[in-house]
Amino acid sequence: MNGDGFGVGWYDSVYDEELGSQPCIFTSVTPAWNNVNLTRLAEKIKSPLVFAHVRATTAGSLSLDNCHPFVHGKLMFMHNGGIADFHLLKRRLQKDLPDTAFDMVQGNTDSEWCFALLLSKLPDCNAKSFTPEILRKAMSDTIATLNSYAEEFNITEPSLMNFCVTDGESVVVTRYISSKTEEAASLWFSSGTEFSEYAEGGHYKMSKADKRENIIMVRGYYMFSSPPLTIIQIASEPLTFERADWMEIKTNHMVVITPKMNLLQIPIKDKYYVPPSDPASLTRRPEFAREKGLLNTRKAINATVDKKASQTVRRPVQTQAH
């Protein structure tokens, strides 16, 4: 049970010059299932992009400052996993941060410091817009830097780095572990044209106006598109009982959702990458992530992108992280 607080972040469906383009964040330290204000808000929010996170504390105190998603300017960030022996490398990470990134940290979780590190990898973390390529490179550089810290301090335990960042137009998500033999925390995606309740009791399914799905190899990575695609959901476990609607994201891969609603699945090619052609890619051990509760069902990082802003968020989605 993830009862250590929750957070929801979303962007306005229509730009308002007075309100600006920054996302709205609602967090609480109460359990999501027992928060009447969350239910009231969820019934009335309509947004083209929603982040939802339910917290299970493993590092950091129970406080609003430690609830995901974290925000800076237009950017939102969430993390599912943990940085191994973070107390050993925390000061090293802080030393590398510019003042802007250092000063934005309000809590004491490894996740928020990872967000600060990502901000330091951007050409301008206060920019009004970011291309998918800029966010993807910043994410790759963040993972590489965290791995270099682990080597510097001789940390051998793997780190679980399922990160998620968005500027409201593009989304970058990773399923990653700093190991060639262990399995990462799970991650899935579903796409279609409508996400609706088909039976009472919270039974939802994804529908597609066009059943065709294009899977195209582009410069060494996969691009998924299903015209006319309007909704993409990413979660650490399938959110519905319709398992055929969900595709598992490969270990040590990055997912990029572009403003045109293309979904790219890109390998993170570092020393921990095992290509699909290698039989070892099929024998990663699940025990490490499972013992941390990151392979259980219905504990999910959730990012919902609705191109037409046609759906209302009707219920909280669970996630586990710290």
pLDDT at 314: 34
Give the Å distances, CA to CA, from 225 to 174, 189, 203: 19, 12, 25
pLDDT at 60: 52
Peptide bond into 279 cis (omega under 30): no
Is the CB of residue 221 less than 8 Å from the CB of residue 166? Answer: no
pLDDT at 272: 98
Q: From first to last of the 322 residues of the chain, give the pLDDT tens digit.
A: 444 678 999 999 888 888 888 999 988 877 777 788 888 888 888 899 999 987 655 555 667 788 889 999 999 999 999 999 999 999 999 999 999 999 999 998 999 999 999 999 999 999 989 999 999 999 999 999 999 999 999 999 999 999 999 999 999 999 999 999 999 999 999 998 888 888 887 788 898 776 555 565 555 566 665 556 689 999 988 888 888 899 999 999 999 999 999 999 999 999 999 998 999 999 999 999 999 989 854 444 566 676 655 343 333 333 333 4
Helices (H) and strands (E) in the chain, counts: 6, 17
Q: From 264, 134, 268, 131, select the one nearest 191 (Cα to Cα).
A: 264
Q: From 52, 70, 50, select the one nearest 60 (Cα to Cα).
A: 70
Give the Å distances, CA to CA, from 25 to 15, 20, 209, 231: 17, 14, 32, 21
pLDDT at 243: 82
Q: Which two tokens stand for residue 10?
A: 């979303």
Is the CB of residue 57 less than 8 Å from the CB of residue 101? Answer: no
pLDDT at 81: 94
- In whole angstroms, what is the distance from residue 15 CA to residue 20 CA? 7
With b for 16 or more beta-carbon neighbours within 10 A and e for fewer, the 71-87 pattern comes to bbbbbbbbbbbbbbbbe
Architecture category of domain 59-306 in CATH: 4-Layer Sandwich (3.60)
Give me the residue spans of the domains in the chain. 59-306
What are the backbone dihedrals phi and psi of residue 32, each rounded to the nearest 5 degrees, phi first?
A: -60, -35
To the nearest 10 degrees (0 to 180), the angle between helices 132-152 and 110-120 is 120
- A 10 A CB-CB count for 280 gives 10
Under 8 Å CB-to-CB from 266, ≥6 apart: which residues? 136, 220, 221, 222, 253, 254, 255, 256
Give the Å distances, CA to CA, from 91 to 87, 96, 123, 189: 8, 9, 23, 35
